[in-house]
Structure 1
């Protein structure tokens, strides 16, 4: 293969944040938008609000993330953003789902213009961008962040798979010449019970769709682990047939009973020792660069979950303010030291309304994360 098609040998280390809750709504991140509604996700939010949805959502797009936010991120040394997108980003047509109700196309149009503007800001302030297909038709994980809560049907219909591939191809075509486009992530967090062979087949189709417009020397193709071991992907998407491929993992310690029952020292050990060894294993065995595409300081399940039952006691429940601050700083430091072993990392998320441990800007303000990166 000609040398010009090879990816750069030493790409920049990514220290980034997710711009979650902006172009894909999540109720726990922006509860004010859902106040008084039965909706649990963007699909049911749009369906329930109907003709009122466009005005409300476009106002949210304007105020939730602004040019000033890109400037602030660059000012503290962040060099990348990961932008979650829904499969409806280009507007209709898209596959129907019964959750849409009587309107076959309930989603608000205009998100693609917001994304265009985000690229202008990214270029102005030197922030690299990973575009992330966060919500696929039929929903790939049953989470609110997948677009339809409690539905996991993405992998059951070819129409859903084909539309996902088509959207990724359109994103590649539209943004391939953008100087700050670092990568396109093929799908966020497909659930653990989506068959591995089917998922790999989708990733291969989607890789080809992206590569039709984005050469490997310019743009990475990123794929998520699908909540399974990296060992499931040994030998997958390797050079020379596949170039500039990046493996994505997400790491949290607040969603399992085992994690919730740990004290702070257990959390620190897991973040620094166990996850540190995992990072070394991935580097040694997978033969692909990796990122931690999502992580946070969150340890409290109650503030982020629409589904989990209590009890909600967690490691910091009985701590005073000083001990809590020290714990968050230590937990953040342990994670950062581990994720620095990867090609990069992206905190989830830049902004939330009510959960400071998930809000990057608030974590920096409170001293839980460093003042510069």
Structure 2
């Protein structure tokens, strides 16, 4: 299948697209600063414009002039209109303006909308980029925050269309509970090994390693070898999904550091998942779900640590893990995303978290994963004022070219009292409203969502009747429609299999999530894992030896040690998924 469609030309190379974007942004601020009476800043903008033009010297003179004229006309149209409305300057047209009014600038734009063939894959993209940049600067200086955000979104999305290889948005599922334990999706492991509590892989590993035994190594090796297999990915593809999100802890990549009790490395299992995905036409989003030191006080990063602080997160080490991953998988065209962390603590300073994300994006690019193909996924987990502040700074960094190819990760969950229908209204309406708010984000993906929710009575939806299952089905369809419309890069269901039994979240996950999977996917998984575990697993080496035929380590399985294929493929496109995957 071709990488271009709908009569769309091949995209520009990223460097050319970035130079055009920077030209438009600097031209926009040049016009705004002149209209606002700030000539010193305008001079700096003019110097930056010239540097951007120098980066376009490989284009023809005609193409460069076209880009310059379009950027200038759009910039002056926005600046002069805001000036005429009383938002900017004294109301007098600056002497340096090539136009006498905003109407004159608008008139000059019209013939420039048909772009030179070397400048853009389609006529509208370059105009939307230049216009978005112009109105972003004019609205930002005018103090019109919502209008500024909307203009920046238009600019960023047009910019991405200029250079990004065309692929369908992710429509996938998570492979949760495999390479980072969580009690719900990893329930068979917890039950078979008699582990009580729900505090993450750290505590589970310590519980199995007491008295200096090797129980953790043995049990985790078996779990990792068996929890997901190639048949699962084959089934995922067969049911119409085009991608998987693969969560794992840093210790899977490098082994544990700083005395952490985790068991690893097991990177050959990531290799195996990448190979399986290639065989079945699935894209892969690699998800560094558990960072060195943890990115949160919550167990989802591998350890529940109530006294966790921002300084505990070993961010420099995390960047090293990210660099290793990017370098290892940079040649696989179906690995289309790398997520730098998962649900970072809301106590993180927003500005410092953004700085880490900017470093992570640069790390991925320097390691060889290009923005044309690979999205760098960065979670936004803040609420209210911190969320507003973070998103404002995120948009500014996007305009500055520091986050090219970066995507915000959203997790719209509705299974806890904060989203109950008594105080928040119908849960389906909540999901729609949340999704609509993403229209002011340059790019986003729903990394996790589920069918679990609280009813109007404020209780988890645990109705096993036909009516109850229909409620779950309807809620999931509402989410899928809303997220497909408003999440630019798609969505992933949490998770492909879940069996929360005997833990705190069981009322929600076992019934609401589990039942929805039975209804909508037709199965919880491709086999009955609970029966397999309870019947065959023990913490002693004997059970593992019988399974692998006497070998001391499941990692010795040659099929898993074989590296993924380094080949070109159309796997990144995935199967057609315009219809709901569940029928």
Q: TM-score range by the shorter chain?
A: 0.7 to 0.9
Residues 237 and 265 of structure 1, relative CA distance in 2, 3 Å threshold? closer
Corresponding residue number in structure 2 for 1:205 = 359
Structure 1: distance between partners of 2:477 and 2:196: 38
Does residue 48 in structure 1 map to residue 204 in structure 2?
no
Per-residue CA distance 1:64-117 (angstroms, 9 max, x = gap):
1111110011111100111111111223352x3xxxxxxx25222242111000
Residues 289 and 10 of structure 1, relative CA distance in 2, 3 Å threshold? farther
What pairs with 1:1-373 in structure 2 (closer than 5 Å)? Answer: 2-3=15-16, 7-8=163-164, 10-35=166-191, 36-38=194-196, 40-50=199-209, 51-92=214-255, 94=257, 96=258, 104-151=259-306, 153=308, 155-157=310-312, 160-213=314-367, 214-228=369-383, 229=387, 231-232=391-392, 233-238=394-399, 240-255=401-416, 257-262=417-422, 266-272=426-432, 274-280=433-439, 282=440, 286=441, 288-299=442-453, 314=459, 316=461, 319=463, 321-341=465-485, 342=487, 343-354=489-500, 355=510, 357-359=512-514, 361-366=517-522, 372=582
Structure 2: distance between partners of 1:357 and 1:7: 41
Residues 337 and 263 of structure 1, relative CA distance in 2, 3 Å threshold? farther
Residues 7 and 188 of structure 1, relative CA distance in 2, 3 Å threshold? farther
Structure 2: distance between partners of 1:113 and 1:241: 32
Runs of 4+ in structure 1 over 6 Å off: none
Corresponding residue number in structure 2 for 1:309 = none
Per-residue CA distance 1:180-216 (angstroms, 9 max, x = gap):
1111111111011111011011111111211112121
Residues 357 and 80 of structure 1, relative CA distance in 2, 3 Å threshold? farther
Structure 1: distance between partners of 2:184 and 2:521: 21
Secondary structure of 2:426's partner?
A: helix
Corresponding residue number in structure 2 for 1:304 = none
TM-score after normalising by structure 2: 0.55
1:248, distance to aligned residue in structure 2 (A): 1.1
1:24, distance to aligned residue in structure 2 (A): 0.5
Kindly name which structure, 1 or 2, has the bigger radius of gyration based on alpha carbons.
Answer: 2
Structure 2: distance between partners of 1:70 and 1:264: 37
Residues 20 and 367 of structure 1, relative CA distance in 2, 3 Å threshold? closer
Structure 2: distance between partners of 1:365 and 1:216: 33
Q: Is the 8 A contact 2:171 2:492 kept in 1?
A: yes
Secondary structure of 2:217's partner?
A: helix
Q: Is the 8 A contact 1:264 1:327 kept in 2?
A: no
1:122, distance to aligned residue in structure 2 (A): 0.6
Structure 2: distance between partners of 1:116 and 1:161: 24
Q: Is the 8 A contact 2:255 2:263 kept in 1?
A: no
Structure 2: distance between partners of 1:321 and 1:181: 40
Structure 2: distance between partners of 1:130 and 1:320: 33
Corresponding residue number in structure 1 for 2:26 = none
Structure 1: distance between partners of 2:307 and 2:330: 31
Structure 1 unaligned regions, length at least 5: 97-103, 302-311
Secondary structure of 1:208's partner?
A: helix
Query: 53-62 or 340-349: which moved more?
Result: 53-62
Structure 1: distance between partners of 2:492 and 2:294: 23
Structure 2 unaligned regions, length at least 5: 1-13, 19-161, 501-509, 525-578
Residues 10 and 38 of structure 1, relative CA distance in 2, 3 Å threshold? same
1:7, distance to aligned residue in structure 2 (A): 3.9
1:28, distance to aligned residue in structure 2 (A): 2.6
Residues 321 and 193 of structure 1, relative CA distance in 2, 3 Å threshold? same
1:178, distance to aligned residue in structure 2 (A): 1.3
TM-score after normalising by structure 1: 0.84
Structure 1: distance between partners of 2:166 and 2:443: 11
Residues 4 and 67 of structure 1, relative CA distance in 2, 3 Å threshold? farther
Q: Which has the higher contact order (CA 8 A, sep 6+)?
A: 1
Q: Is the 8 A contact 2:256 2:262 kept in 1?
A: no
- Going by fraction, where is helix more abundant, 1 or 2? 2
Residues 258 and 90 of structure 1, relative CA distance in 2, 3 Å threshold? closer
